[in-house]
Amino acid sequence: MTDEPRTKITPDINLRERKAFGQLTADTRSAVEQAGVVLVPDDGFREYGGPVFPQGTVDFLHFLRDHAPGGITVEIAAEDTNYKEVALHFDIIRLATLFVEYVAAPTAVALIAEYLKHRLGNGRKSTEVRTALMVHQKDGQREHTVRIAYEGPAVNVEGALRDAVASLANAGQPAEIAATSGPTKALPDTRKQQSLPVRKEKRKNRR
């Protein structure tokens, strides 16, 4: 049977600072900046250094577009010309990372849950999912982005991500107040160089 659900919240960089964003055309960049939900690629896979998405991302994208509430547009930070997907033939469903403003995070969580329900049906209990939300928060002049990563049974993704998003509001603070919920087993961090460990970040702020 699958492990307990795990969520992990870590500081992250803003969408505009990501390598993939710099590679977009002006039109796509503009569309991405105005979107409520943006699918964000990983930077490379093994020897390949370009942007890559998990297998099935195009279908995920169009599901989100079909089901997003009115007023929320869904975009992808990629061009057709260099679009590639990675198929890791491990029986875990990997979903593309979603970048959202804090106010749209609950909508993104509901959309992820709806997609998994549509794709897996009753199989949600026995299927594991790995997904992440990048939540952007603005507090006056300060901007912060946190990454909420989830790995666990598909059936628990909605509750776990919802709690994690709520914990951001409860902290009453932006991204530096990062928390880890669930068992301590860490998720693999694909961007170690870009995200600071939580404790170091807290210590830094105290100074």
Partner 1 sequence: MTLDEIRAYLKAVAKRPIEPIPDAVRAALATLKRDAVGSGDQVLAKFLWCHEQSLDAQEHYLCAFRHLKAGEYYAAWCELEQTEVAVLALERHKESFWADFRLDFIQTCTARWQELFPYRLFYSPEFLQAEKVCSICRKPVLPRSFCGHRVGEIYDGEACYRIVTKIDLGGVSIVDKPVQKYSVLFLRDDKTGGIRDQYNYALVEYPIKALRDPFDGWEVERTTRRQPHSRFAHVGRNDPCPCDSGKKYKKCCLREAGVLRPHFEYTFEFKPPDDVLLDEVYLP
Does 118 interact with partner 1 (rule: CB under 8 A)? yes
Does 52 interact with partner 1 (rule: CB under 8 A)? yes
How many residues appear in the chain?
207
Candidate list 48, 183, 200, 203; residue touching partner 1; CB under 8 A: 48
The 127-156 site mask, x for binding partner 1 (CB under 8 A), equals -x----------------------------
Nearer to partner 1, 52 or 135 (CB): 52
Does 89 interact with partner 1 (rule: CB under 8 A)? yes
Does 121 interact with partner 1 (rule: CB under 8 A)? yes
Candidate list 7, 10, 57, 156; residue touching partner 1; CB under 8 A: 57
Q: Tokens standing for 48?
A: 């390949």
3-state secondary structure of 182: coil
Nearer to partner 1, 54 or 174 (CB): 54
Q: Which of 149, 184, 185 is nearest to 42 (CA)?
A: 149
The alpha-carbon radius of gyration of the chain (Å, integer) is 16
Contact 97, 39 (CB under 8 A): yes
Sign of dihedral through CA atoms 91, 65, 106, 113? negative
Shortest spacing between CB 45 and partner 1, in angstroms = 6
Q: Candidates 74-82, 149-157, 189-197, 199-207 — which segment interacts with partner 1 by CB under 8 A?
A: 74-82
Q: Tokens standing for 137?
A: 């928060």
Q: What is the DSSP letter of 98?
A: E
Contact 164, 8 (CB under 8 A): no
Contact residues for partner 1 (CB under 8 A)? 45-46, 48, 52, 55-59, 61-62, 76, 78-80, 83-92, 118-119, 121-123, 128
